[in-house]
Structure 1
Amino acid sequence: MKARWIITAVSAALFFGGSLLTSLRDPWFQNLQRPNWLTFEFLIPFIWTFIWLCLTISAIIVWERRSKQRSHPWYLMAIYAAIALLTSLYSPIVVELRSLTGGLIAGGLATLLVYILAFVVKPISQRASWLFLPYALWGPFGTYLTWLLLQLNPGVAQ
């Protein structure tokens, strides 16, 4: 089986796994106070789907480039997987554990790993590195938004 299909399957399992474990439609989460300017919340699932697709393509490019050099980048794939796992755990941490602080940590750590990995893969493939850009832009915003939810809902969602 080609590596690209395995990477895609693992990526899809992690992406949908977080969604299957919990729902952001949970009444507790929906009743959290939100900033008035957050009028585009319905777009967030589409934004994350695009980001996830970019990361998956980046992982495939890196794997295929390194495989041609007979060097399988397991350590890089482990970092891609860590980013995916932290990202997919965000919703269960926030909704099931009712912990915006935990979500803030998971999201912030995933974003930090994105910056590190984008820098590390740049010599392998500039295109793979550029595919981190959507996450690199959205990650800090999502982390800030989680922090803002924490400020707007003191005592409700620590």
Structure 2
Amino acid sequence: MIPSWIIIGAITFCIALGSFFITPRDIKWFAHLSRPRWLVFEPLIPLIWTVVFIGGATSAYVVWQKNPGSLITWLLMALYLLLEIITVAYIPVMLRFRSLKAGEILGLMGLISGVVLAICVLPISGLAALLLLPYLVWTPIGTYTTDELKELNPQDA
């Protein structure tokens, strides 16, 4: 039998590959957007998201280990999956539709889903909930940044 951490990691990795639905034309649009002066951490965003995804996958593993195969655990795994799909869809959807509003909506959906997941996971494992903290801290920052981009680029909102 394949260990659960490998399955969870592989699913996380495969879904993260969804960000490859970005074309050079999409990237060019985003690169030309005006940015807030305080957005000095943009080069760190890939590293930040790597930490966020590792924390989420590890959180899912901890929850799975507490009660593997139970209905509640499967439902929580579905919520982890939904959260990752929303998160990964943010950039391709925003870029494909050239809509900062679409990105902002997905960011808010991710934040709400992340909070619901953390609340559901907390009684099962404090560690699993703590591992979701990077997501819960970063998502409002990313969503706020998208809102600021909308203000600076109203033609692309």
**Fold conserved between structures, TM > 0.5:** yes
- Partner Cα distance (2:67, 2:107) in 1: 28
Given the two structures, how large is their TM-score scaled by the length of structure 1?
0.92
User: Deviations along 1:88-109, whole A, 9 cap, x unmatched?
Assistant: 0011111111111111111111
State the one-letter code of the partner of 1:116.
V
Q: Give the counterpart letter for 2:154 in structure 1.
A: P
Where do residues 3-82 of structure 1 align in structure 2 (5 Å cutoff)?
A: 3-18=4-19, 20-22=20-22, 26-67=27-68, 71-72=70-71, 73-82=73-82
Q: 1:37-80: CA deviations, max 9, x gaps?
A: 1112100010000000000000011011111xx62511101110
Q: The residue matched to 1:26 in structure 2 has which SS?
A: helix
User: Which amino acid in 2 is paired with 1:15?
Assistant: A
Partner of 2:86: 86
Query: Following the alignment from structure 1 to structure 2, what is the Cα–Cα distance between the partners of residues 123 and 23?
Result: 42
- Taking the aligned partners of 2:46 and 2:61, their CA distance within structure 1 comes to 23
Q: Where does the alignment leave 5 or more consecutive residues of structure 1 unmatched? A: none
Number of the residue aligned with 2:100: 100
Equivalent residues, number = 154
The 3 A distance-change label for structure 1 pair 38 and 23 is farther
Higher relative helix content: 2
How far has the Cα of 1:23 moved from its partner?
5.8
TM-score, scaled relative to structure 2: 0.93
Q: Percent same amino acid at aligned positions? A: 38
Residue segments in structure 2 that go unaligned for 5+ positions in a row: none
Aligned partners of 1:23 and 1:91 also within 8 Å: no
Partners of 1:138 and 1:66 in 2: how far apart? 29
Residues in 2 aligned to 1:110 and 1:84: alpha-carbon distance in whole angstroms: 8
What's the RMSD between the two structures over aligned residues? 1.5
Query: Quick check: 1:86–1:106 contact (8 Å CA) kept in 2?
Result: yes
Is contact 1:14-1:85 (8 Å) kept? yes
How far apart in 2 are the matches of 1:127 and 1:74? 19
The question of 1:125 aligning with 2:140 is answered no
Moved over 4 A (4+): none
2:121 equivalent to 1:147: no
For 1:114 and 1:103, how far apart are their aligned partners in 2?
A: 16
